[in-house]
Structure 1
Amino acid sequence: MSEVARRRFLQGAGALGVAGVLGAGSASASSRYHWLSGDHHTHTQYSYDGMYTIEQQVRGALRHGTDWLVITDHGHASHEAHSVEATAADLRKAQQKFPQLLLWHGMEWNVPGAEHATVFFEDCRDEAGLLRDFERQFDWRLNGAEASTPANEKKALDAIRFLQAKIRNGTMKSALVFVNHPMRNGRVAPHELRAMRDLAPDIVVGMEAAPGAQGDGDPVRGPGGHRGGYANSPGSNSYAAYPAEAYRTYGGFDWMTAKLGGVWDSLLAEGRGWWITSNSDSHFNSRDTIVRVPEPGGQFDLTGKHLDPVDAGPPQVLPPYVDFFPCEFSRTVVGATRRTRGGVMEGLRAGRAWVSHGGLVDDLRFTAHGAGGVETMGGRLRVRRGSDVTVLVKVRLATRPNSAGFVPRLRRLDLIKGAVSGPASTESLSTPHVKVERSYEPRWHYAVFTHTFRNVRDPFYVRLRGTDGNRGAFEPQADAPGAANPWEDLWCYTNPIFVEVR
């Protein structure tokens, strides 16, 4: 969206008189941010299971409107031995060639006792050296700490302490960690999420609401595909209390996020800032014309790099082409106070973000207003007991064809309210005090909705979700193996706003 279109969208509520009702702050609560689309989970030829050069990945991201991007190649013995400096050199070239893209050198960490997480830094003096040091010490592919044991879970916390120490001694300004595809194998337990977040709430800030590999459910691939690759059953390292239903996606989203009153809501009900993102996990992108070339045996193991792929002409749809380019299908839109890497990281850390699939909406703003204050996603609005709180929702519906060639239609937005009830069991998987407070059916290109909570007595949070309603139900439905075309079931979600009562 152009800046002119953004400004007009932000002024839309005022034109309808909403700003007059809520006060002057309503127009500025979201408009003071740069809303930037991006992806913190992507792979290149420096991943054992990847293919693209960094420039190819960057060009693909830019074609789909990406503002910020983190390269997160897998932790691996050959990666640690050979790939880190080579990746850094290619990234420097890409940063010089494409200055319009905010670009990071991160990694996908094999978390001891769990599965995967994104790790990346801000203003690090020796980014490549620190990534290698972190990988060597704390990646389970290198140190054998894969099993879900208390000792390995402690090692994961030691890794977070390592990052904290590097921030304290000035090696870097900040770091972020997001848990990736949490229920793909069910190997990150609720107590692990809580322990990492409580140890370092400014570093471990959230999880992927939806996995990448969304094209895996496309029927063109045959009967075995599952959106996100969520085709697994509990294994020896899985958390035993997760039900069988947890190992599937729901409208492409992870069970932890999609289940109303589920794991995500249980964390929010404790008052924890635990934020969601949505990413491509790009390895081989569906219907792309770029293909891997034949390689000598042991190519990656010996060099930490696959050979440069080539453009073969015909689009690729069969395995392993199950991903999308960054922001082609999935995007995380972050409110940044400045268009810098630090600005994006601060916005992610604050939870100032919403996520969407398939271009379901062009823009989405969400604020809460009380006497003397206004907050947007990730914020905490403080009000006096007995006062009113008004929620303002502004959505700009899609007007352009998405990558599949059609203009999606948002048929319903749900305003979800959950009670903040305080600490619960570290193993909690659910909370009962969550409901759809109100639903909206957008009918115009620009839609503005309000809802007022009267005589507020207790703390709560609010969040939004939206759907195209194509499956005939407005509650997320489990994706069927081999019959889950990602373009036919689109959703969007926002991070919550907390309301604290004095």
Structure 2
Amino acid sequence: MLNKFKSLTVLALSLALFSQSLPVAAKDAEENNQTNSGGRWMKGEYHAHTTQSDDAEGSQTLENLLNNSFDKYGMDWMGISDHLRMSSRDDEGQLVPGGPIPLSQGIIQYQAPKMKQLQKKGKYKNKIIFSGFEWDMPTYEHVGIGILGDQAGSSRSLKAGNQFEYLFTNQDEKMFNSTDVAIWKAQDQRANKTPQDARTALAWLEKNYKNTSYAILNHPSRKKVYTISDFRDFNNIAPDVLFGFEGMPGNQMEPDRGGLNLTTPENRTYGGSDYMLAKVGGAWDALLGEGRQFWNFSNSDSHFEISENRLYSSGYWPGEYSKNYTWVDGSTMQSVLDGMRSGKSFSVFGDLINALDFQAKGGSSKVDMGGDLKVKEGQMVKITIRFKNPKKNNNGDSVKVDHVDLISGDVTGKAVPGTPAYSKDTNDTTKVVKRFTSKDWKTDGNGYHIITYKVKASKDQYFRLRGTNLGENVSGETSNGEPLIDSKTDIEDNESRFAEINNRNYKDLWFYSNPIFVSVEERTHDNH
């Protein structure tokens, strides 16, 4: 064990890359729909596992995951997110000599050097790769964490992950370098058991890595452990770090779609999405109605697609079924993080669309997703939606959007802790203000479908989009345009079950945008 710690210390000092980043190749301007100089739409996710997670299959090596993500399914960036637990295997699936080690040590010892090695060999050119982790938040659920440090790629990032694991998990103190532990003890106390400890960890990230870390709530409704008050607390404590949730969870190849298998309606998926996202006027709308910059993301949660013994299925490869499209201005993981935090992103199942431009304009001002348009009372706001779909998706199916919903709710300000509003998980003002079908959009020469809509500004509001390939009333799928609860695919024969799960998923496709806020300034009345 002493030799292991010695090698850990040497590696932590010598490794220069936690995030392996190279300049991003320019994409086809038509596909990326460039609306800001210097930026580009990039496809990626932050929640996928390798063999360094003990519940991943042995074939889920780092290189195999990256090959599928980048070479087969066209991702531009990838955040690895292995479990922040004791880890038994290295990046190639081989048992770690001497027994399990903390994941953060495994990242330093195996994952980060392998990323560097692969890119030095010329693999994944112009791609961004980052090592984050999935934290078991005390008394709650999984949280996707990434710590970039003072600069993406520094050895400080590696050590910060090691320190986070020591402070905020229940790993044995003996598993960490004693010199490091002495320093960490002088700075902070371990906090790994209570709801308050969860909040302490988020406050630690906000204090130490305000602009260079993220904490995003994964599959939030899976275990029925959160209240809306928890979400508000977390975002209040760490607004720059905890800025979103996985509203479109991975594990879509499980019999219970997304792995959400509790019997209560609030803990299932609807069109593959978490109830907090899918319910118009639900938890997400309650947060947006406070004006919170709190965004939706999708991921694969890839552990394996079909197990090697052909008995079980779990999740697709990254980029195979779900994608986040994020506007990124730069070519580093910090640029990606800045894009994620900005809210200028949208998420898609089954490649239903591959481009979206969603803007609001009032007078000479214009904002994109995540922005706040400031207008005068009574001023006209013009909303423009431009989207595009590929000819076929990764299942070989032709894809077509049936309708796009423009959803809006009032923004009334942040709820105060201790008041009834702080525990309210609905927004009664939220509704579908307009449903657009092909009759309502025009298609330009580049294949973009264009919709415009005007509204007179009368109060603070937000607008968001949702689209699907399904009609308004499809048996078992939609009712009045709303997604219905996903039923379990329960077929005894394994191969038949795998095929039917895949068919189920590709028949039921959705995309969700992040919102645009509109803030209205009351007109002053001159009595003279």
Please state which band the TM-score falls in when normalised by the shorter chain.
Answer: 0.7 to 0.9
Which residue is 1:497 aligned to?
Answer: 516
Map Cα deviations across residues 88-140 of structure 1 (whole Å, 9 max, x no partner).
22222234332322111100011112110111123244222211211121136
Distance of 2:346 and 2:158 partners within structure 1: 30
Structure 2 counterpart of 1:280, one-letter code: S
TM-score by length of 1: 0.80
Which residue is 1:163 aligned to?
Answer: 205
Matched, 1:45 2:83: no
Structure 2 counterpart of 1:481, one-letter code: K
Residues 178 and 9 of structure 1: CA distance in aligned 2, closer, same or farther (over 3 Å): closer
Q: Secondary structure at the match of 2:243?
A: strand
Matched, 1:478 2:485: yes
Distance of 2:27 and 2:133 partners within structure 1: 36
Which residue is 1:446 aligned to?
Answer: 448
**Farther-moved stretch of structure 1 (154-163 vs 263-272):** 154-163
Matched, 1:90 2:114: yes
**Deviation at residue 6 of structure 1 after TM alignment:** 3.3
Distance of 1:325 and 1:150 partners within structure 2: 32
CA contact (8 A) 1:381 1:497 kept: yes
Asked which structure has the greater CA Rg, the reply is: 2
**Deviation at residue 151 of structure 1 after TM alignment:** 7.0
Which residue is 1:205 aligned to?
Answer: 243
Which residue is 1:282 aligned to?
Answer: 302
Distance of 1:380 and 1:188 partners within structure 2: 28
Residues 3 and 413 of structure 1: CA distance in aligned 2, closer, same or farther (over 3 Å): farther
Residues 8 and 336 of structure 1: CA distance in aligned 2, closer, same or farther (over 3 Å): closer
Q: Secondary structure at the match of 1:204?
A: coil
2:63 to 52, 55, 79: 55
Which residue is 1:110 aligned to?
Answer: 136
Structure 2 counterpart of 1:285, one-letter code: E
CA contact (8 A) 1:77 1:142 kept: no
Structure 1: gaps spanning 5 or more residues = 11-27, 144-148, 217-224, 234-243, 293-315
Which residue is 2:411 aligned to?
Answer: 420
Provide the aligned length of Structure 1 versus Structure 2: 427
Structure 1 counterpart of 2:274, one-letter code: D
CA contact (8 A) 1:29 1:376 kept: no
2:231 to 169, 172, 193: 193
TM-score by length of 2: 0.76
Q: Secondary structure at the match of 2:253?
A: helix
Map Cα deviations across residues 481-500 of structure 1 (whole Å, 9 max, x no partner).
11761111000000000001
Structure 2 counterpart of 1:482, one-letter code: T
Q: Secondary structure at the match of 1:195?
A: helix
Alignment of 1:374-453 (within 5 A): 374-399=366-391, 401-424=392-415, 425-442=421-438, 444=443, 445-453=447-455
Residues 29 and 5 of structure 1: CA distance in aligned 2, closer, same or farther (over 3 Å): closer
Structure 1 counterpart of 2:409, one-letter code: G
Structure 2: gaps spanning 5 or more residues = 1-24, 88-100, 174-190, 416-420, 491-500, 522-528
CA contact (8 A) 2:249 2:258 kept: yes
Which residue is 2:363 aligned to?
Answer: 371
**Farther-moved stretch of structure 1 (92-101 vs 478-487):** 92-101
Alignment of 1:211-226 (within 5 A): 211-216=249-254, 225-226=255-256
Distance of 2:130 and 2:31 partners within structure 1: 32
Q: Secondary structure at the match of 1:450?
A: strand
CA contact (8 A) 1:37 1:333 kept: yes
CA contact (8 A) 2:362 2:379 kept: yes
CA contact (8 A) 2:147 2:160 kept: no
Structure 1 counterpart of 2:199, one-letter code: L
Matched, 1:70 2:79: yes
**Farther-moved stretch of structure 1 (475-484 vs 105-114):** 475-484
Q: Secondary structure at the match of 1:214?
A: coil
Distance of 2:438 and 2:311 partners within structure 1: 37
Q: Identity over aligned residues, as a percent? A: 30
Residues 142 and 419 of structure 1: CA distance in aligned 2, closer, same or farther (over 3 Å): farther
CA contact (8 A) 2:252 2:258 kept: yes
Distance of 1:48 and 1:137 partners within structure 2: 22
Alignment of 1:193-342 (within 5 A): 193-216=231-254, 225-233=255-263, 244-286=264-306, 318-319=311-312, 321-342=313-334
CA contact (8 A) 1:73 1:108 kept: yes
Greater RCO structure (CA 8 Å; 6+ sep): 1
Alignment of 1:96-175 (within 5 A): 96=120, 97-122=123-148, 123=151, 124-139=154-169, 152-167=194-209, 174-175=212-213
Q: Secondary structure at the match of 1:403?
A: coil
CA contact (8 A) 2:170 2:192 kept: no
Distance of 2:332 and 2:238 partners within structure 1: 23
Q: Secondary structure at the match of 1:203?
A: coil
**Farther-moved stretch of structure 1 (257-266 vs 86-95):** 86-95
Residues 211 and 142 of structure 1: CA distance in aligned 2, closer, same or farther (over 3 Å): farther
CA contact (8 A) 2:410 2:460 kept: yes
Q: Secondary structure at the match of 1:469?
A: coil
**Deviation at residue 58 of structure 1 after TM alignment:** 0.4
